[in-house]
Amino acid sequence: MSTYRVTFLPEGKEVEVEENITLMQAAEKAGVYINTLCGGKGVCGKCRVQVTDGKVLADKHSIGFLSKEELMEGYVLACQTKVSSDMEVVIPPESRLEAEQILMEGTVVDYSQPAKVFVSKVPSDPLSLFEPLVQKIYLELKEPSSEDNIADSDRVIRELRKKTEYQTFERSLRCLRDLASELRSNNWKVTATIAKHGDLWRILQIEPGDTSEQNYGLALDVGTTTVVAQLVHLKSGNVLGVAGSHNLQSHYGEDVISRMVFACSREGGLNPLHEAIIKDINNLIKSLTDDKGIGVEQITAIVAAGNTTMSHLLLGLVPCSIRLDPYVPTAHAFPQIRAAELGININPEGILETVADVASYVGGDIVSGILACGIADRQEVKALIDVGTNGEIAMGNNDWMVCCSASAGPAFEGGGIGCGMRATLGAIEKVEITNGRVEYHTIGKAKPRGICGSGLIDAVYELVRNGIIGQEGKFNRSTKHERVIERDDEPQFIVAYSHETETGKDISVTESDISNLVRSKGAVFAAIKSLIDYVGLGFDQIDTFFVAGGFGSYLNIPKAIAIGLLPDIDPKRIQFVGNSSLMGARMSLLSTHAFERTAKIASMMTNIELSTYLPFMDEYVAALFLPHTDRKLFPSVDYKH
Amino acid sequence: MSTYRVTFLPEGKEVEVEENITLMQAAEKAGVYINTLCGGKGVCGKCRVQVTDGKVLADKHSIGFLSKEELMEGYVLACQTKVSSDMEVVIPPESRLEAEQILMEGTVVDYSQPAKVFVSKVPSDPLSLFEPLVQKIYLELKEPSSEDNIADSDRVIRELRKKTEYQTFERSLRCLRDLASELRSNNWKVTATIAKHGDLWRILQIEPGDTSEQNYGLALDVGTTTVVAQLVHLKSGNVLGVAGSHNLQSHYGEDVISRMVFACSREGGLNPLHEAIIKDINNLIKSLTDDKGIGVEQITAIVAAGNTTMSHLLLGLVPCSIRLDPYVPTAHAFPQIRAAELGININPEGILETVADVASYVGGDIVSGILACGIADRQEVKALIDVGTNGEIAMGNNDWMVCCSASAGPAFEGGGIGCGMRATLGAIEKVEITNGRVEYHTIGKAKPRGICGSGLIDAVYELVRNGIIGQEGKFNRSTKHERVIERDDEPQFIVAYSHETETGKDISVTESDISNLVRSKGAVFAAIKSLIDYVGLGFDQIDTFFVAGGFGSYLNIPKAIAIGLLPDIDPKRIQFVGNSSLMGARMSLLSTHAFERTAKIASMMTNIELSTYLPFMDEYVAALFLPHTDRKLFPSVDYKH
């Protein structure tokens, strides 16, 4: 089999690849990220690249996504084009997947000084009781004598009982193996690593001397798009660092559905997805530990939170039935395992706990978020909304919890939107139209490359407010604006002209973009409304709405209310919490009580399956208006024309 | 490195070996067993062989063990002679280690129909409550629907709860991995294998269809000399077969002390000992399963009982501190492990439980025996005596238990006795002297090759009774008997003349043999007496004395009493129980209650360390007489001259 050299511009990254693999795969191998929404099926057209040197085989898939001029200039879809010669390929700006601003931490409670939060020993607030899942206890043992000749492991346990006040310990075979020599060659001074396992503590390892300071844990948010890891010093609770990366599974599909399809439509399809996430995690661990000069074997615990599909893919569990009616996963609760069993590169005895899921589309990330926001610990009713491709909503208090998820479509993440993109460098994230004049802001103040979810919400709000579109989302034929044009038989509003943009093309919002957004916000609002009606409450009775996820942090709350995405309540009662999943994972790592609470939250939660819940469809249809067909629901919203 | 061919006669087994390995190692490789007591250190002289062809390097070790004539005839010590040419080697009868009659089962209770014993569901007799440690439960699950869409693993557990009435189940990652596909591709009809683990049941595997009949367990008695395995059908409790073999560790030392010395006196010394016992077990498993046409993966559970050193070597735990003051093992209680972790060839998820030990020289075999004899379950005080190189004695009832061990020396197993041998083919096991005429019986009715422990006891008893030796164990110079001769400056009694024997040499009992036996029986009796005095009881208050181990089954009880080995009580109250360790292991396999009882027995038992217990030494000295210096202790014994 021949091999060819492919060079990716503008980075100039080169890679040697075998004949007939796709340019997408070559890019993956070269460490170059190319945009994709469909996972390489040739149906989203987001991965267009320009071949500037080398042979291009006729590619009928590209037709329809590329204009005649583009085809002449060598544009192809990277996922559909096979390497058949040495090639030079330019990745245009709109096809690049730049590092998103990955949400590292939330804002509800200031956990930036976790040691202060977690040193409380007041049992009345169990979640803040500092008690890491894995602890290293330094022991100075009394040497055996004929009066005191209990077995070595009993001696260790006797001292552990004294030092920790825990009663029940389990010996692992591994830690027993060399125990006798370890104790004797280290003058009976050793450090025991113990991990909470159900109702007891398992002794993971015995190390010479006092290593109790060298004990680290990893809080992991395994998102569909991004994976974020936080390195925590388990003895003090201090956060030492945080790192994020794209979920490498993106190469096999953009969203959970396409990844499940990939995993389940071929023999062994699960393996590359499982391996991709493990690789991600190992990369993050390497970067965090290299940074701090910490050995990976000093990491003894991981708590991972992710949606149900991510949990399954992380643990290598067959995910296929999750997406098929009646939406049944393999498990909601997961066993504690050794992280090394999955190939995760920490201490070989180090544990991995996975936060329990609730249902096929309400995962451990939501449970972790509820923990972090303290929703299940207080009497007031609070709600958590995580808006992405799926909108997940949970609501309740210390007595009851309900949740649901609604397929919002990819509009909030820039999918299905002509000039849409993720909230990354160059995305238009804010738009204002004043007296016909347009002002916009981009992420990183870069030249605009597209428009992201929050930018789109702004734009639509401004278009309605300025009477350019009507409340049903259609362009107002009677209102003239120089930026409103008709192209490809569709009316659209130009937000940024071609000369201003990185791509050299107009960035505009079309009528079908608006329609996509309206459907997305309609689904989310209908889900919130259905859940509130289900429990018989009104919006006013919800003490706080927490908004989680990457989308939330760029959102303008009054505008989100004005288009009817969020309910019309006092904006002060709406709080962005950022990555509450990560926050909950860290709390779990540092408090066995908090971790045990996640299992309780997951099991106390009632999931409302919206696809079979009749009132939802009516709510959805009613919400396909800006802000809503029922004006009484949005008393404060008043578009002035 | 050159290789040579060594042929062992009379079997004619050939083996190709590398230069410079010893004849003992060559024999091991050829599968030929040569006697050894010292583990190849050249100090016991038991491994003499005759080189009939090939080069013999000068071997100063042999001198002292071999006469000049023997040296001229090519006799050498196999453990000290290296291979330096092709060789032909004759193993004389006294150096052959024939298959001993391995004790397979005991006699206390008739467990030959275990199904009948174990079907009781009467909670008042928990030990007989049939509840195997590992069970296979056939499940016909309801297919998920939108009304009933709990996770797959929850569905399995819900049905397990219904079928078993157990409440708490633990999922293993392995069994979750393919659960979704397993269930769906088998029409929701599967068999779950569950194992008791602490307070809960762990799901080990899910198999297609109904395999609940194919569930087998192994009861293992890991003895220093022999390893015995019993194959049990876990669903019915029926014993399907039993097999025994020599403990291959014998090549590294005959007794626990020499094996610990081997393990601890060189780098990696533990490995060959650990591997030897695993090899033994795998051989037994193969032979049992081949025999019954059962796949090894259908064995899901093993319960192993052995002395403390054997438990450590089985699990690969460093045993070195067991033999050093203050005699501290790594552990008394052992974790449940997967047998596959040790390389034991059963179902990869199959469990191994090791019966808990009490002290460095009172092991799980004794605990298992106490379970089997029901000592800890009744109000009457009973005792268990296991006589071998170590004599272990335990005593008590359902309220208290005490135990001790005394080093009896190897005399009962034929060690340290001029013509001594184990109770194997050709061993003189019974001796009677009537009117000066000698009659003897050998095991297997073969030509005599030596004398074993029970034969020696008989001989000594008869010698005293006939006035040939006195009660202090010395030959009576005034009594003349044609068989009493003086050879090598030592008086001795010829039991079998050279023309009657397989070896062509006289088999005699010397004064120092008698002295060795008196010390051995003195140590055992002193231990029994010390223990009884310690708890403030008299012999009459002991309801039953159980005698366990290979030694017991050939023993003549009245003669054992008459020489002062066993206490002078009604012989009906002394019962041989054979391999009670194996019996207890099987009970544990078939009843979680019985297995849990072993842990309780081990922890309730008080071990009296005789080496630091002052009264013991006085008792020992007092017992160095036939039967005892205190005639009141043996009122029924009356040697008539």
Cα separation, A46 vs A35, in Å, equals 6
Which residues does chain B have within 8 Å of residue A337's beta carbon, measured at their own beta carbons?
A: 173
Residue B10, preceding peptide bond in cis (omega within 30° of 0): yes
**Chain B residue numbers touching A612 (CB-CB < 8 A):** 146
Please, which residues 344-363 of chain B have a Cβ atom closer than 8 Å to chain A?
A: 360
Domain assignment of residue A70, yes or no: yes
Distance of CA A476 to the CA centre of its chain: 38
Kind plus residue range of the DSSP H or E element containing B388: none
> What pLDDT was estimated at residue A239?
86
User: Which H or E run contains B624?
Assistant: none
Domain endpoint, select from A150, A182, A208: A208
Q: Which residue of A has its CA nearest to B177?
A: A317
Would you say the C-alpha torsion B66, B69, B72, B73 has a positive or negative sign? negative
Does one domain contain both B340 and B264? yes
Q: Are strands A351-354 and A299-306 parallel, antiparallel or unpaired?
A: parallel
Same domain, A493 and A459: yes
Chain B contact set for A320 (CB, 8 A):
180-181
Task: Say if the ipTM goes beyond 0.90.
Answer: no
Mutate to test the interface with A, among B171, B271, B278, B321 (most CBs of A within 10 A): B321
Residue among A176, A309, A324 with most chain B CBs within 10 A, to mutate: A176
Q: How many residues does chain A have?
A: 641
Same domain, yes or no: A303 and A169 = no
| CATH code assigned at A275 | 3.30.420.480
The answer to whether residue B304 sits within a structural domain is yes
Instruction: For residue B385, give Cα distances in angstroms to B306, B367, B525, B621.
Output: 15, 12, 10, 20
C-alpha closest to that of B514 among B635, B377, B624, B375: B624
Half-sphere exposure of B595 (CA within 13 A, CB side): 30
* Residue B141 touches chain A, beta carbons under 8 Å: no
From residue A256, alpha-carbon distances to A407, A420, A607, B177, B373 in Å are: 11, 20, 19, 19, 61
Chain A residues whose beta carbon lies within 8 Å of the beta carbon of residue B360: 149
In a domain, B115, yes or no: no
Tell whether A299 and A339 lie within a shared domain.
yes
Output the domain CATH number for residue B537: 3.30.420
- Is residue A382 located within the same domain as residue A447? no
Task: Please judge whether A329 and B152 are an interchain contact, meaning their C-beta atoms are less than 8 angstroms apart.
Answer: yes
Interface test with B, best of A321, A336, A352 (most B CBs within 10 A): A321
Would you call B151 and A332 a contact, using CB atoms and an 8 Å cutoff? yes
- Specify if B143 maps to a domain: yes
Residues B397 and B439 in one domain: no
Comparing CB atoms, the residue among B146, B171, B326 nearest residue A609 is B146
The whole-angstrom distance between A28's CA and the closest CA on chain B is: 28
Please state whether beta strands A13-18 and A3-9 pair in parallel, antiparallel, or not at all (unpaired): antiparallel
Q: Is A316 on the interface with B (CB under 8 A)?
A: yes
C-alpha–C-alpha distance, residues A347 and B561, integer Å: 60
Q: Is B149 an interface residue toward A (CB < 8 Å)?
A: yes
The rounded Cα A205 to chain-centroid distance in angstroms is 33
**Quick check: B327 and A149 CB within 8 A?**
yes
Tell whether A186 is within 8 A of chain B (Cβ). Answer: no
> A199 in helix, strand or coil?
coil
Identify the residue among B318, B361, B404 best suited for mutation to test binding to A, counting A beta carbons within 10 A and taking the highest: B318
Residues A29 and A82 in one domain: yes
Taking only the tens place, the pLDDT of each residue in A451-489 is 999 999 999 999 999 999 999 999 998 888 899 999 988
Residues of B within 8 A of A170 (CB-CB) are 198, 335
Q: Do A334 and B149 touch (CB under 8 A)?
A: no
Nearest residue of chain A to residue B148 (CA atoms): A326
Please identify, among B208, B227, B262, the residue that sits at the C-terminal boundary of a domain.
B208
Q: Assign residue A166 the CATH number of its domain.
A: 3.10.20.880
The C-alpha atoms of residue A314 and residue A222 are separated, in whole angstroms, by 8
pLDDT of residue B410: 84
Q: Do B149 and A317 touch (CB under 8 A)?
A: no
A274 and A145 housed in the same domain = no
DSSP state of B473: S
Residue A571 inside a domain? The answer is: no
- Same domain, yes or no: B312 and B394: no
Residue B202, pLDDT score = 96
**For the CA atoms of chain B, what is the radius of gyration?**
27
Query: By the 8 A CB rule, do B218 and B302 touch?
Result: yes
Assign residue A444 a region: left if phi > 0, alpha if psi is -120 to 50, beta otherwise?
left
A99 half-sphere exposure, CB direction, 13 A CA radius: 10
At B61 the pLDDT is 63
- Residues in chain B with CB shorter than 8 Å from the CB of A155 are 328
How confident is the model over B184-238, as pLDDT tens digits? 999 999 999 999 999 999 999 999 999 999 999 999 999 998 899 999 999 988 8
Helix (H), strand (E) at residue A446:
none
Separation in Å, CA of A327 to nearest CA in chain B? 7
- Write down the pLDDT at residue A68: 72
Count of Cβ atoms closer than 10 Å to residue B265 Cβ? 9
Q: Is B324 on the interface with A (CB under 8 A)?
A: no
Q: Are residues A550 and A606 in the same domain?
A: yes
Low-confidence stretches of chain A (pLDDT < 50) are: 99-126
CA distance B71 to chain A (A): 44
- Which residues, given as ranges, of chain B have pLDDT below 70? 33, 36-44, 57-64, 93-94, 96-128, 550-553, 640-641
Distance of CA B445 to the CA centre of its chain: 24
In a domain, A108, yes or no: no
**Helices A592-604 & A364-373 angle (0-180, nearest 10):** 120
Query: What's chain B's length in residues?
Result: 641
User: The whole model's pTM is what?
Assistant: 0.81
Contact B149 A609 (CB under 8 A): yes
Q: Which residue of B has its CA nearest to A152?
A: B330
- Closest chain B C-alpha to A103 CA, distance in angstroms: 30
User: Beta-carbon neighbour count of residue B542 at 10 Å?
Assistant: 19
CB-based contact A171 B331, cutoff 8 Å: yes
Number of domains in chain A: 5
Interface contact flag, B326 A145, Cβ < 8 Å: yes
Residues A158 and A306 in one domain: no
Q: Which of A149, A316, A329 is facing B177, going by the closest CB pair? A: A316
Residues B289 and B234 placed together within one structural domain of the fold: yes
Sheet holding A507-510, edge to edge: A484-487, A490-496, A507-510
Residue A148 lies in a domain: yes
Cα-only R_g, chain A: 27
Whether A302 is in a domain gets the answer: yes
Cα–Cα distance list, B538 to A391, B554, B569, B608 (Å): 80, 27, 11, 18
- Contact (CB<8Å) B180/A317: yes
By residue range, what is the domain housing residue A166?
133-208
